[in-house]
Chains A and B, each alone.
Chain A
Amino acid sequence: AQRVTQPEKLLSVFKGAPVELKCNYSYSGSPELFWYVQYSRQRLQLLLRHISRESIKGFTADLNKGETSFHLKKPFAQEEDSAMYYCALFNQGAQKLVFGQGTRLTINP
């Protein structure tokens, strides 16, 4: 069975400081991982996917198969980054997207 773990329910950092939101997974197959974000009063939306290795809004995430991690990072946090962040794994066999519990990120001015 697959599992996605986000160990921090809450994370608070100061503006300009680096941010790292942790995500660990367990999955027997080849993982497809995603980060979704929900800003205040907005719907849940895709932030980035590991396959494209892109940087969105300054965020990057590297898949580390050895550590089974997919941490989300940003070198300099901005106030508009305050949101709920969800790590998700796509289970190819079961054809379902499984989410972690989410981390609420607060950027303090």
Chain B
Amino acid sequence: DSGVTQTPKHLITATGQRVTLRCSPRSGDLSVYWYQQSLDQGLQFLIQYYNGEERAKGNILERFSAQQFPDLHSELNLSSLELGDSALYFCASSGTINTGELFFGEGSRLTVL
């Protein structure tokens, strides 16, 4: 499957901990996007990378950080976790920048207890 892949699919952790979510874009896609989906907030844009460089930033907390590596996979790091960080985290990719046509992964469901 050459679609967007995300790991882990599910993650349960405790408040105050740190986790890393991983995303591999579609083959050939240079742009990676991270979104957070929580029950009350809907799909919120966090951050975008293009070919290793940060391109756009949304409502990403300072406790969160991301990067895109030379092989184009991306990681989203969430630290000092709070109960409110429990959500589904989606990664998406696209072949170009400046587009609204994104290809999504299945998401990583984070539960903070």
Interface residues of A (CB under 8 A from B): 32, 34, 43-46, 49, 86, 88-90, 92, 94-102
Contact = CB atoms under 8 A, between A and B. Distances in A.
B100 A32 contact: yes
A34 B98 contact: no
B48 A96 contact: yes
Interface residues of B, number: 24
A49 to B, nearest CB: 7
Given A44-B104, A95-B97, 5 more contacts: A32-B100, A44-B90, A44-B92, A92-B98, A99-B35
Interface of B: 3-4, 33, 35, 42-43, 45, 48, 55-56, 58, 90, 92, 97-107
B45 A98 contact: yes
B43 A49 contact: no
Contact of A97 (B33, B42, B106): B33
Query: 10 nearest interchain CB pairs?
Result: A90-B100, A99-B43, A101-B42, A44-B104, A95-B56, A97-B100, A96-B45, A43-B104, A96-B56, A43-B106
Best-surrounded residue of B48, B58, B101 (most CB of chain A within 10 A): B101
A88 B92 CA distance: 14
Contacts of A44: 90, 92, 104
A89 B102 CA distance: 12
B100 A94 contact: no
Contacts of A97: 33, 45, 100, 102
